[in-house]
Amino acid sequence: MKQRKRPTAQGSSNGHESNNSNRNEQGPDSASAFSSSTAFHTSTSTSSSSSSSTTPASKTSVKSNTTTTTTTTRSKTGSNKADAKAGLKPAAVHSQTMLLELLLTVTRSSLVIVTPLVAGMILRVAPSMMEPIYGSIFIEEGFLEYSLASVIVGVVLAMIYTFLLNKRAASATAVPSTSSSPSATATNVGSTLLTAEDRLAAEATAAGLRKDAGLRKGIVVSLDLCGLVLASAFLTTHVMFKHSGEFGPWRGPHLTQFVLAYPLLALLGFANTLACVLRSYERVHIRTWISCVLIQAGAILGLTLVVFQMAPQGQNCPRVYSSAILVVVISSLHKLLAFIHGEVAIPDERLESSRRKPQTASSRASLAMSFIPLILVLALTAQNVTRNPQCQASVVKAHNPVNGNYTILARNESVTGWISVVDENISRRNDLHIRVMRAGHSLIGGMYAETGDSIFGSFYMPEAVRLIKNREKGHQETVLQIGLGVGIASGSLIQHGLLVDVVEIDPAVVDYATEFFDWPAPHEKFIQDGRQFIKSAPEGKYDYVIHDVFTGGGVPPSLFSLEALHDIQRIMRPDGVLALNMVGSEHPIKAQALNSVRRTLHTAFKHVVAFKESPDDDDAYQNIVFFAAQFPIEFDQYEPPPFPTQEEMDFWMKQHQQGGHNGHALRPSDMRDWILSSFQDWPLKTPYDPTKGELILDRNNTLNGMQRLGAEDHWHAMRSLLPLDFWINY
């Protein structure tokens, strides 16, 4: 009777082992990398009892184990029958329970939270960090494709890493033990076989622990590297920006992303793949494991898209550094949990005795050393927040060196990116200094400090809408300007007594135009997206619409679609006129965007004429202004205003000396007079051909891709106008 009670008592004491056998009873296709630790404990206890007994006792123990197994099987059958009577499916309940346990481990659940926050942030921030150096067209060209490829590279590297861990563990298990015990050689055949099984089980458990440690190390190291990549982002990208002239606008953004977004996404893919690998103590059905992988991947992808859409705007530096700190803090918590519990998993009594490591002086020293990445990230964050000029909210001393050629008067990381106002300290243009407003890698306006003339003559051309014949002019004329710039066009129209409403998406542009470019107050100003405004504006309100939204090497395609032009036509009077500015070239290879805009304008309006900003080479990349209406367009001859009196000139000079508004927008301008008197002599040389170009529609708007070649010309033009030092200092 004693021999029959021993196995039963052993079975009752190993309740967790019986529970594990219940959980793992799903068929021969169960997915498990190594034997569980509880199996090792059971084998050891059985071995100790068997080695001290005789052969008959061993036979009796085997019979007792057989009896226990039969009893356990019967109990399982009974519980399954009870579940069936209750309407439950034991296999499904079991699979859902194990799936929940897999998903709720500390490693997997933390990565499901951290990965979307970091990935969604970097997909939004990384291109915008390139915009001040490379413009708005090239920064997203192929970026998503390269980002996806980076994630795939990380997944593949993680699979190779896991394969090497498994191979190493298998080779360590296959090495035969050379040690022999006299007691083992003296026992019978049955006892010898049992001792060999115990040794193999111990070796398999040790190999599983080594694999688990390798997976844990791979995850925390990849998270630490993510934090360091983010914390050093503004330093490494600034070094790459210094070589932007050598890289060019096509290769430059991608080469720079190889020190920012691409390695970061590869590391996240690496860490998440390792997290999906089963640990040695996780013995689940293959379908449960696949479900875990699919749920984790789907959750990360969905949450990444949510984060990407929720934070389209904002300052880059705080988002990058907060993400860096978050990642290394999570990594440090993993290390601390591993130090305490021996494995990054939800505390489980099944793991306490086999996974917890002794806390020695060397292990404490190793734990302290593992926090070095956290210290480095915090140090880099503090250094960049306090000393890096690109991460300051306003102008600091580092922006304006003593012997610099340019002085930044104001700067702001606004809703459309970096907006700054810069004065030229040197005179290279007939002893005239310039003041410009910079938006990314383009100049959205500027004027000569001494005369108040615009540095871009095309900004005066929209004023020619007043010269169009065949219009009723016996009422107060109203104007809508979409896109402010520095206020040259609207200021000229205000000078002539027109009521001007201005729609500008970026509040910093409005503030700087008023403060630094003497833009007079309009009738009304709206800080919102131009496309949204024209959808909701009253019908038939405006006599003229000035459309000038070029920046960063291109134009926003949504404001050039046929639907957008129909909205503009709706808010104009029947005899209203649209003046639309774009930058393009008549060169056959580069004229695709120009031809598409012409075709779309001719579709929306019955009469369209276009003029270049200068009589230069026809193939040159330059401003082109279209005038569109529902009636034939003819212009009256421009008559320059009378020259100001000496009293008026003294008044403007006095304001200039006192540092107040110079009245540039209200002063007569030689540049304006020349442009308005001569622009009719500079029409497009290429006749309109309705078979050339695409019709730009909201549902299939490809204008952004058509602007690539022209954007490259614009990028090189900006670099020839102003040197590298100007562009990398923002």
From the list 43, 356, 31, the residue with the least C-alpha distance to 202 is 43
Q: How far apart are CA 61 and CA 64, in angstroms?
A: 5
Q: How far apart are CA 678 and CA 676, in angstroms?
A: 6
Neighbouring residues of 362: CB distance < 8 A, sequence distance ≥ 6 = none
Q: Taking the alpha carbons of 562, 568, 574, 579 in that order, is the dihedral positive or negative?
A: negative
Place of tokens 């702001």: 412
Neighbouring residues of 673: CB distance < 8 A, sequence distance ≥ 6 = 638, 640
Residue 727 corresponds to which tokens in the numbers above? 């562009």
Q: Which amino acid is at 544?
A: Y
Please give the helix or strand (H or E) that residue 349 lies within, else none: helix 349-355
689 is catalytic: no
| Burial group, residue 100, by CB count within 10 angstroms (0-12, 13-18, 19+) | exposed
Residue 686 corresponds to which tokens in the numbers above? 């290429």
Neighbouring residues of 160: CB distance < 8 A, sequence distance ≥ 6 = none
Pairing relationship of beta strands 284-285 and 478-482 according to DSSP bridges? unpaired
Q: Is 476 helix (H, G, I), strand (E, B) or coil?
A: coil
Residue 340 corresponds to which tokens in the numbers above? 């305490």
Residue 181 corresponds to which tokens in the numbers above? 């015990």
Please give the helix or strand (H or E) that residue 163 lies within, else none: helix 143-174
**Count of CB atoms situated within 10 Å of the CB of 333:** 14
Among the listed residues 501, 506, 543, 548, the single catalytic one is 548
Q: Which residues pair with 582 in a beta bridge?
A: 624
Q: Is 718 helix (H, G, I), strand (E, B) or coil?
A: helix
Answer for the pair 117, 307: CB distance below 8 angstroms, yes or no. Answer: yes
Neighbouring residues of 436: CB distance < 8 A, sequence distance ≥ 6 = 421, 422, 424, 443, 445, 446, 455
Q: Which residues pair with 500 in a beta bridge?
A: 479
**Count of CB atoms situated within 10 Å of the CB of 28:** 4
What are the angstrom distances between the C-alpha of 638 and each of 97, 471, 570?
A: 83, 16, 29
From the list 481, 484, 454, 466, the residue with the least C-alpha distance to 664 is 454
Pairing relationship of beta strands 524-527 and 443-448 according to DSSP bridges? unpaired
**Count of CB atoms situated within 10 Å of the CB of 108:** 20
Catalytic machinery residues: 548
